[in-house]
């Protein structure tokens, strides 16, 4: 299982708001390491969606936002659109492993 825990799936209707959680521990998110989020559309490479907990790279719509508190982080998507249907992954650094760690991924279905 992954070091960071995400729900396997979430869903929502167009226009709705969904959140994806990412739960870590005292050796990664809880130790203060930053969380980044990636979107992976079917058949494509992952794309950076949120960096440094709550910052969007150029070109990412402001419908996407991130937050972090304690040993967890969350990705929120508002105004859900059909094109948001994808897999989403959180990433952080783990001091006990001396390397990056990913969540298991969450499949977002737009109903």
Partner 1 sequence: EVQLVESGGGLVQPGGSLRLSCAASGFTFSSYEMNWVRQAPGKGLEWVSYISSSGSTIYYADSVKGRFSISRDNAKNSLYLQMNSLRAEDTAVYYCARAGILQSLDYWGQGTLVTVSS
Per-residue contact flags (x/-) with partner 1 for residues 79 to 108, judged by CB under 8 A: --------x-x-x-x---xxxxxxxxx---
Per-residue contact flags (x/-) with partner 1 for residues 9 to 48, judged by CB under 8 A: -------------------------x-x-x-x----xxxx
Residues that contact partner 1, how many (by CB under 8 A): 26
Residues 6+ apart with CB under 8 A from 85: 108, 109, 110
Sort 68 into a burial class: Cβ within 10 Å, 0-12 / 13-18 / 19+: buried
Strand partners, 88: 39, 106
Chain positions contacting partner 1, by CB under 8 A:
2, 34, 36, 38, 40, 45-48, 51-52, 55, 57, 87, 89, 91, 93, 97-105
């Amino acid at each position: 299982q992954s070091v960071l825990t995400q729900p396997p799936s979430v869903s929502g209707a167009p226009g709705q708001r969904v959140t994806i959680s990412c739960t870590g521990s005292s050796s990664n998110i809880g130790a203060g390491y930053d969380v980044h989020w990636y979107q992976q559309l079917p058949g494509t490479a992952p794309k950076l969606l949120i960096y440094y907990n709550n910052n969007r790279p150029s070109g990412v719509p402001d419908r996407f936002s991130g937050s972090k508190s304690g040993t967890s982080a969350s990705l929120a998507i508002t105004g859900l659109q059909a094109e948001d249907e994808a897999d989403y992954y959180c990433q952080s650094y783990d001091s006990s492993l001396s390397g990056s760690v990913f969540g298991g991924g969450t499949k977002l279905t737009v109903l």
